[in-house]
Amino acid sequence: MGIPGSGLAKGLAVTLRTMTRKSVTAQYPDVQPDLAPRTRGVIGLFEENCTVCMLCARECPDWCIYIDSHKETVPPAAPGGRERSRNVLDRFAIDFALCMYCGICIEVCPFDALFWSPEFEYAETDIRELTHERDKLREWMWTVPEPPALDPAAEEPKEIAAARKTADKLVAQQAAAAPEQQTTADDTTKGEGT
């Protein structure tokens, strides 16, 4: 058995030791904290990879993921083929008031549609506003840091390749639409001149 009061003496010794040290306070709003590269902040959604398989919502222990979708018929890829149906995402929302940041949804997603973002400044004054819809989750996706390459000769991550492909497709569509608009404007001008 120990000496009576030894625990109290040890506690006071710790208090005296820390009292003499200079305190370091991070002035948070003015000075941003240095976060670890793979910090768990919020969950970002990469919508192009989501197939509405509902696996994340089924595996979530808090039931904080809300997904709505509808079926759409896709024409056959080749002549004589049959039409196919696919799920189209209508709503993807996460209630961060319920989320316990376990990461199960990210782990079970077979198509890499969910990622940890280091973003942590998403406080709200009303708890009902902590349910963030897919547009906000999409914004957080762009704050997700790039995964480190496993090998210097490794190919580019598929998330970045998919994002680049989508961006290139949008640029090509905009470029194709620009000459059509110019031709229409020229035809209108010629018609007015005659």
- Token pair for 178: 């620009």
- Radius of gyration, CA atoms only, the chain: 27
Q: 4 pLDDT band (50/70/90 cuts)?
A: confident
Q: Which of 57, 95, 51, 82 is nearest to 69 (CA)?
A: 51
Q: Residue 19 pLDDT more than 90?
A: no
> Residue 52 region, left (φ>0) first, then alpha (ψ -120 to 50), else beta?
left
> Residue 101 region, left (φ>0) first, then alpha (ψ -120 to 50), else beta?
left
What is the 3-state secondary structure of 65-130?
EEEEEEEEEECCCCCCCCCEEEEEEEEEEEECCCCCCCCHHHHHCCCCCEEEECCCCCCCCCHHHH
DSSP code for 35 = -
Looking at residue 64, its pLDDT comes to 95
pLDDT above 90 coverage of the chain, percent: 47
Q: Residue 130 pLDDT more than 90?
A: yes
Q: Measured between alpha carbons, how far is residue 75 from residues 49, 78, 84 in Å?
A: 21, 9, 7
For 74-115, the pLDDT digits (tens) are 888 888 888 989 899 999 999 999 999 999 999 999 999 999
If you average pLDDT over residues 177-187, what whole number do you get? 68
Q: Residue 135 pLDDT more than 70?
A: yes
For 55-77, the pLDDT digits (tens) are 999 999 999 999 999 999 988 88
Question: Is 105:73 a contact under the CB 8 Å cutoff?
Answer: no
